[in-house]
Amino acid sequence: FVAPPSSSARPRSQLARSRPRSSRGMLLLLAVSALHPPLAATVQRRCRRRAVYLAESPGAKKLTLIRHGQSEWNLANRFTGWVDVDLTTRGIQEAREAARALKADGTEYDLVLTSCLRRAVRTSCLLLSGAGRPAVPMVKDARLNEQHAGALTGRNKRSLAKEHGHEQVMRWRRGFAVPPPPISTKAPLQSAICRDERYRRRPCAGGASGGPSQDVVVPRGETFRDCLERVSEVWSDTVEPALRDGKNVLVVSHGNALRALIKLVDGVSDEDAYHLDMPTACPLVYEALPSAGPSGVRFGDAHGTWG
């Protein structure tokens, strides 16, 4: 689902607050529930100017999803997975632009969830600092790491397409249960990840523990289904309870981890999940409304960003 919506698809409150599109601009992120239920946003291209458009429902709390800014391997068009690459100069600027949008909106976030990877952690810090909310608690959770790319890690996607065909590369990238070739535990990239202290339970003074509650098992490769399973745990034990308690939650993560969250929130089918995508550093905002259902949370329309 790729076509940008007509103006009639946008709530009137959004139209009144919209900004002019840039000369290169088109819709970045399609509003999830409003435009093509339950299929969520598909992104075609990035624009220079970004703004968040929020509905105004009394008592609603917000769940905001943001992918990290452009990373060094995004720029190099390489499968990244769990490799801990940094942001590019452009990625830093993207995060700062997103921070300005969050600050202009004025939502006071109570909790920030991010992965253990520096591109997401650094984006989170830039967002909080730029939005004037540096003291908001931040939880780093390896279950929000990017989908592990297996033996594809570090490989250029264009080169892989020449070897295996574009369709196969897209199946690796977007397929629901298509595993990448497993990476050897002796491969330098994988062994470096497995030795990383952030995935080890660390004792602290007084017998308390720091870092994860137990050692994180670093996978040798993951399907989107595998990524969805661990993200579902974060949803169940952290995100949903926080929303039920009336908190505004900001999740800063990676493309596939956020695809998994969108799938959960919007009930996107396994087949349609192939079409989900998130651009770098563009907020997607859901309204979490009180519900009489078992979860205590229901969602109104989602609102994305326009150039």
- Among residues 66, 114, 1, which one has the least CA distance to residue 286? 66
Q: What is the largest CA-CA distance in the chain?
A: 60
Residues 6+ apart with CB under 8 A from 122: 68, 86, 87, 92, 95
Give Cα separations from 300 to 27, 41, 55, 59, 304 (angstroms). 20, 15, 9, 12, 13
The one catalytic residue in 94, 97, 146, 240 is 146
- Is 280 in contact with 70 (CB distance < 8 Å)? yes
229 is catalytic: no
The one catalytic residue in 36, 68, 254, 303 is 68
Angstrom distance (rounded) from CA 140 to CA 136: 13
SS3 label, residue 105: helix
- Is 255 in contact with 65 (CB distance < 8 Å)? no
146 is catalytic: yes
Angstrom distance (rounded) from CA 219 to CA 146: 11
Phi, psi of 131 (to 5 degrees): -85, 0
Return the active site residues: 68, 146
